[in-house]
Amino acid sequence: MTTLQFQRYIGIDYSGAETPSSSLKGLRVYMATGRDDATEVPPPPSPRRYWTRKEVAHWLLEKLSEPISTIVGIDHGFSFPIRYFETHQIPPDWDKFLRDFHHHWPTDQPYVYVDFVRDGSLGNGDARSGSAKWRRETELRCKGKSVFHFDCQGSVAKSTHSGIPWLLFLRERLEQKVHFWPFDGFTVPEKTSAIVEAYPALYKHRFPPAQGMTGDQHDAYAIASWLKQADATGELHTALHPNLDPSMQLLAKAEGWILGVA
Protein backbone atom coordinates (compact mmCIF):
# COMPACT_ATOMS: atom_id res chain seq x y z
CA MET A 1 0.00 0.00 0.00
CA THR A 2 1.37 3.40 -1.03
CA THR A 3 1.96 5.88 1.77
CA LEU A 4 0.11 9.11 1.05
CA GLN A 5 2.26 12.21 0.82
CA PHE A 6 -0.66 14.59 1.33
CA GLN A 7 -3.68 14.69 3.61
CA ARG A 8 -5.77 17.11 1.58
CA TYR A 9 -6.30 17.78 -2.15
CA ILE A 10 -7.70 21.02 -3.56
CA GLY A 11 -8.67 21.65 -7.18
CA ILE A 12 -9.42 25.15 -8.43
CA ASP A 13 -10.89 26.03 -11.81
CA TYR A 14 -9.87 29.65 -12.18
CA SER A 15 -11.51 32.65 -13.83
CA GLY A 16 -9.97 35.88 -15.05
CA ALA A 17 -13.28 37.69 -15.56
CA GLU A 18 -14.14 41.09 -14.12
CA THR A 19 -12.41 42.31 -10.92
CA PRO A 20 -10.71 40.56 -7.96
CA SER A 21 -13.83 41.20 -5.84
CA SER A 22 -16.40 40.10 -8.44
CA SER A 23 -18.54 37.04 -7.73
CA LEU A 24 -17.57 34.65 -10.55
CA LYS A 25 -19.65 31.67 -11.62
CA GLY A 26 -16.63 30.19 -13.38
CA LEU A 27 -14.42 30.19 -10.27
CA ARG A 28 -14.90 26.83 -8.52
CA VAL A 29 -13.17 25.08 -5.63
CA TYR A 30 -13.29 21.36 -4.78
CA MET A 31 -11.53 19.59 -1.93
CA ALA A 32 -10.86 15.94 -1.05
CA THR A 33 -9.13 14.26 1.87
CA GLY A 34 -7.57 10.86 2.32
CA ARG A 35 -10.94 9.60 3.56
CA ASP A 36 -13.44 11.72 1.61
CA ASP A 37 -14.03 12.17 -2.10
CA ALA A 38 -13.87 15.60 -3.67
CA THR A 39 -16.80 17.88 -2.90
CA GLU A 40 -17.42 21.50 -3.75
CA VAL A 41 -16.32 24.13 -1.24
CA PRO A 42 -18.81 27.01 -1.04
CA PRO A 43 -17.60 30.59 -0.79
CA PRO A 44 -17.63 32.39 2.56
CA PRO A 45 -21.08 33.58 3.69
CA SER A 46 -21.93 36.84 1.96
CA PRO A 47 -24.57 38.33 -0.35
CA ARG A 48 -22.44 37.01 -3.23
CA ARG A 49 -23.33 33.61 -4.66
CA TYR A 50 -19.91 32.66 -6.00
CA TRP A 51 -16.24 32.92 -5.06
CA THR A 52 -14.14 35.99 -5.82
CA ARG A 53 -10.44 35.71 -6.64
CA LYS A 54 -9.58 37.68 -3.51
CA GLU A 55 -11.64 35.30 -1.34
CA VAL A 56 -9.96 32.25 -2.88
CA ALA A 57 -6.50 33.69 -2.16
CA HIS A 58 -7.35 34.45 1.47
CA TRP A 59 -9.03 31.05 1.92
CA LEU A 60 -5.91 29.33 0.57
CA LEU A 61 -3.75 31.41 2.90
CA GLU A 62 -5.83 30.14 5.81
CA LYS A 63 -5.84 26.50 4.69
CA LEU A 64 -2.15 26.38 3.84
CA SER A 65 -1.26 27.90 7.21
CA GLU A 66 -2.75 24.85 8.91
CA PRO A 67 -0.46 21.92 9.84
CA ILE A 68 -2.18 19.67 7.28
CA SER A 69 -0.12 18.66 4.23
CA THR A 70 -2.13 19.88 1.26
CA ILE A 71 -1.61 19.94 -2.49
CA VAL A 72 -3.43 22.61 -4.47
CA GLY A 73 -3.87 22.38 -8.24
CA ILE A 74 -4.83 25.64 -9.97
CA ASP A 75 -5.90 25.89 -13.60
CA HIS A 76 -3.87 28.84 -14.89
CA GLY A 77 -0.29 29.48 -15.97
CA PHE A 78 2.19 30.16 -13.18
CA SER A 79 4.87 31.71 -15.39
CA PHE A 80 5.67 32.74 -18.96
CA PRO A 81 7.77 31.36 -21.86
CA ILE A 82 11.51 31.91 -21.70
CA ARG A 83 11.14 34.16 -24.75
CA TYR A 84 9.29 36.63 -22.50
CA PHE A 85 12.16 36.67 -20.00
CA GLU A 86 14.68 37.25 -22.80
CA THR A 87 12.63 39.94 -24.56
CA HIS A 88 12.08 41.96 -21.38
CA GLN A 89 15.54 41.26 -19.95
CA ILE A 90 14.21 39.57 -16.81
CA PRO A 91 16.53 37.03 -15.13
CA PRO A 92 15.14 33.46 -15.33
CA ASP A 93 14.19 33.66 -11.67
CA TRP A 94 10.53 33.08 -10.73
CA ASP A 95 10.51 35.39 -7.72
CA LYS A 96 11.92 38.25 -9.79
CA PHE A 97 9.36 37.46 -12.49
CA LEU A 98 6.46 37.57 -10.00
CA ARG A 99 7.43 40.96 -8.62
CA ASP A 100 8.15 42.43 -12.04
CA PHE A 101 4.86 41.16 -13.46
CA HIS A 102 2.85 42.48 -10.52
CA HIS A 103 4.44 45.90 -10.92
CA HIS A 104 3.20 46.09 -14.52
CA TRP A 105 -0.02 44.08 -14.19
CA PRO A 106 -1.63 44.99 -10.81
CA THR A 107 -4.64 42.79 -11.49
CA ASP A 108 -5.14 42.01 -7.80
CA GLN A 109 -6.02 45.63 -7.03
CA PRO A 110 -9.62 46.79 -6.44
CA TYR A 111 -11.77 47.43 -9.52
CA VAL A 112 -9.08 46.24 -11.95
CA TYR A 113 -10.08 44.18 -14.98
CA VAL A 114 -7.35 42.42 -16.98
CA ASP A 115 -8.61 44.36 -20.01
CA PHE A 116 -7.98 47.67 -18.22
CA VAL A 117 -4.27 46.83 -18.18
CA ARG A 118 -4.40 45.46 -21.72
CA ASP A 119 -5.86 48.69 -23.09
CA GLY A 120 -3.50 50.92 -21.09
CA SER A 121 -6.02 52.39 -18.65
CA LEU A 122 -4.08 51.01 -15.67
CA GLY A 123 -0.66 49.51 -15.04
CA ASN A 124 1.83 49.20 -17.89
CA GLY A 125 0.89 46.08 -19.81
CA ASP A 126 2.55 47.25 -23.03
CA ALA A 127 5.92 47.08 -21.31
CA ARG A 128 5.34 43.44 -20.34
CA SER A 129 3.40 41.82 -23.15
CA GLY A 130 4.02 38.73 -25.23
CA SER A 131 2.99 37.02 -28.45
CA ALA A 132 0.30 34.37 -28.72
CA LYS A 133 2.88 32.45 -30.78
CA TRP A 134 5.12 32.11 -27.71
CA ARG A 135 4.49 28.94 -25.74
CA ARG A 136 6.20 27.29 -22.83
CA GLU A 137 7.78 23.89 -23.30
CA THR A 138 5.12 22.27 -21.12
CA GLU A 139 2.38 23.79 -23.31
CA LEU A 140 4.04 22.49 -26.45
CA ARG A 141 4.12 18.99 -25.00
CA CYS A 142 0.45 18.91 -24.00
CA LYS A 143 -0.80 21.10 -26.87
CA GLY A 144 -2.02 23.74 -24.46
CA LYS A 145 -2.74 27.31 -25.48
CA SER A 146 -0.26 30.13 -25.00
CA VAL A 147 -0.59 32.24 -21.84
CA PHE A 148 -0.76 35.21 -24.25
CA HIS A 149 -3.58 33.82 -26.39
CA PHE A 150 -6.45 36.11 -25.35
CA ASP A 151 -10.05 36.22 -26.59
CA CYS A 152 -10.45 32.68 -27.83
CA GLN A 153 -12.30 29.54 -26.76
CA GLY A 154 -10.41 27.73 -24.01
CA SER A 155 -8.08 30.67 -23.40
CA VAL A 156 -6.10 30.69 -20.14
CA ALA A 157 -4.60 34.14 -20.77
CA LYS A 158 -7.00 36.16 -18.60
CA SER A 159 -6.93 33.58 -15.80
CA THR A 160 -3.14 33.62 -15.90
CA HIS A 161 -2.80 37.40 -15.96
CA SER A 162 -5.28 37.78 -13.09
CA GLY A 163 -4.01 34.82 -11.05
CA ILE A 164 -0.24 35.37 -10.98
CA PRO A 165 -0.38 38.35 -8.54
CA TRP A 166 -2.26 36.12 -6.07
CA LEU A 167 0.56 33.56 -6.28
CA LEU A 168 2.89 36.36 -5.20
CA PHE A 169 0.45 37.22 -2.39
CA LEU A 170 0.59 33.63 -1.11
CA ARG A 171 4.34 33.27 -1.58
CA GLU A 172 5.12 36.41 0.41
CA ARG A 173 2.88 35.39 3.29
CA LEU A 174 3.48 31.64 3.47
CA GLU A 175 7.21 31.67 2.70
CA GLN A 176 8.70 28.26 3.53
CA LYS A 177 5.39 26.72 4.62
CA VAL A 178 4.48 25.97 1.00
CA HIS A 179 6.44 24.48 -1.88
CA PHE A 180 5.68 26.15 -5.22
CA TRP A 181 6.33 23.39 -7.73
CA PRO A 182 8.63 23.17 -9.67
CA PHE A 183 10.12 26.60 -8.92
CA ASP A 184 11.26 25.45 -5.47
CA GLY A 185 12.42 22.12 -6.89
CA PHE A 186 10.76 18.98 -8.23
CA THR A 187 10.78 17.21 -4.86
CA VAL A 188 8.21 18.41 -2.33
CA PRO A 189 9.58 17.91 1.20
CA GLU A 190 7.66 15.58 3.49
CA LYS A 191 4.84 17.14 5.51
CA THR A 192 5.02 20.27 3.33
CA SER A 193 2.10 21.65 1.35
CA ALA A 194 2.46 22.37 -2.37
CA ILE A 195 0.86 24.53 -5.05
CA VAL A 196 1.01 23.21 -8.61
CA GLU A 197 -0.23 24.21 -12.03
CA ALA A 198 -3.00 21.87 -13.21
CA TYR A 199 -4.61 21.27 -16.59
CA PRO A 200 -8.01 19.56 -16.26
CA ALA A 201 -7.94 18.24 -19.83
CA LEU A 202 -5.24 15.79 -18.72
CA TYR A 203 -7.32 14.22 -15.97
CA LYS A 204 -11.04 14.83 -16.35
CA HIS A 205 -11.74 11.91 -18.70
CA ARG A 206 -11.17 9.66 -15.67
CA PHE A 207 -13.85 11.36 -13.59
CA PRO A 208 -17.25 11.67 -15.29
CA PRO A 209 -19.25 14.71 -14.18
CA ALA A 210 -22.16 14.25 -11.83
CA GLN A 211 -25.61 15.14 -13.12
CA GLY A 212 -26.06 18.90 -13.28
CA MET A 213 -22.35 19.65 -12.85
CA THR A 214 -21.14 22.60 -14.95
CA GLY A 215 -17.93 22.44 -16.95
CA ASP A 216 -16.15 24.64 -14.41
CA GLN A 217 -17.30 22.45 -11.54
CA HIS A 218 -16.19 19.34 -13.41
CA ASP A 219 -12.72 20.80 -14.02
CA ALA A 220 -12.18 21.66 -10.35
CA TYR A 221 -13.62 18.30 -9.26
CA ALA A 222 -11.34 16.44 -11.68
CA ILE A 223 -8.21 18.22 -10.43
CA ALA A 224 -8.94 17.42 -6.77
CA SER A 225 -10.01 13.85 -7.58
CA TRP A 226 -6.96 13.15 -9.72
CA LEU A 227 -4.55 14.54 -7.12
CA LYS A 228 -6.08 12.24 -4.51
CA GLN A 229 -6.14 9.16 -6.75
CA ALA A 230 -2.64 9.79 -8.08
CA ASP A 231 -1.24 10.14 -4.56
CA ALA A 232 -2.74 6.78 -3.62
CA THR A 233 -1.42 4.96 -6.70
CA GLY A 234 2.06 6.52 -6.82
CA GLU A 235 1.27 8.34 -10.07
CA LEU A 236 1.55 11.69 -8.29
CA HIS A 237 5.14 10.98 -7.25
CA THR A 238 5.95 10.19 -10.90
CA ALA A 239 4.18 13.35 -12.10
CA LEU A 240 6.11 15.48 -9.63
CA HIS A 241 9.35 14.10 -11.09
CA PRO A 242 8.94 14.30 -14.89
CA ASN A 243 11.75 12.79 -16.92
CA LEU A 244 13.50 16.01 -17.95
CA ASP A 245 17.18 16.44 -18.71
CA PRO A 246 19.11 18.97 -16.57
CA SER A 247 18.73 21.83 -19.09
CA MET A 248 14.98 21.24 -19.33
CA GLN A 249 14.71 21.17 -15.54
CA LEU A 250 16.37 24.58 -15.39
CA LEU A 251 13.97 25.87 -18.04
CA ALA A 252 10.99 24.52 -16.08
CA LYS A 253 12.14 26.32 -12.94
CA ALA A 254 11.67 29.59 -14.86
CA GLU A 255 8.75 28.75 -17.17
CA GLY A 256 6.92 26.44 -14.80
CA TRP A 257 5.48 23.03 -15.62
CA ILE A 258 2.00 21.54 -15.79
CA LEU A 259 1.61 18.60 -13.41
CA GLY A 260 1.11 15.40 -15.37
CA VAL A 261 2.91 16.48 -18.55
CA ALA A 262 5.63 13.99 -19.42
List, for residues 120-176, the tens digit of each pLDDT value.
999 999 999 999 999 999 999 999 999 999 988 878 999 999 999 999 999 999 988
Could you say which residues of the chain have pLDDT below 70?
A: 1-2
Let me know the angle formed at the C-alpha of 39 by 63 and 43, rounded to the nearest 5 degrees. 55
pTM, rounded to two decimals: 0.97
Supply the pLDDT for residue 72: 98
Largest CA distance in the chain: 56
HSE at residue 45, side-chain half, CA atoms within 13 A, is 0
Supply the pLDDT for residue 176: 87
Supply the pLDDT for residue 47: 87
Q: Residue 16 in contact with residue 114, Cβ under 8 Å?
A: yes
Query: Taking the domains of the chain in order of start, what are their residue ranges?
Result: 8-255
Supply the pLDDT for residue 1: 55
Q: How far apart are CA 184 and CA 250, in angstroms?
A: 11
Q: Residue 114 in contact with residue 125, Cβ under 8 Å?
A: no
Supply the pLDDT for residue 131: 96
Supply the pLDDT for residue 114: 97
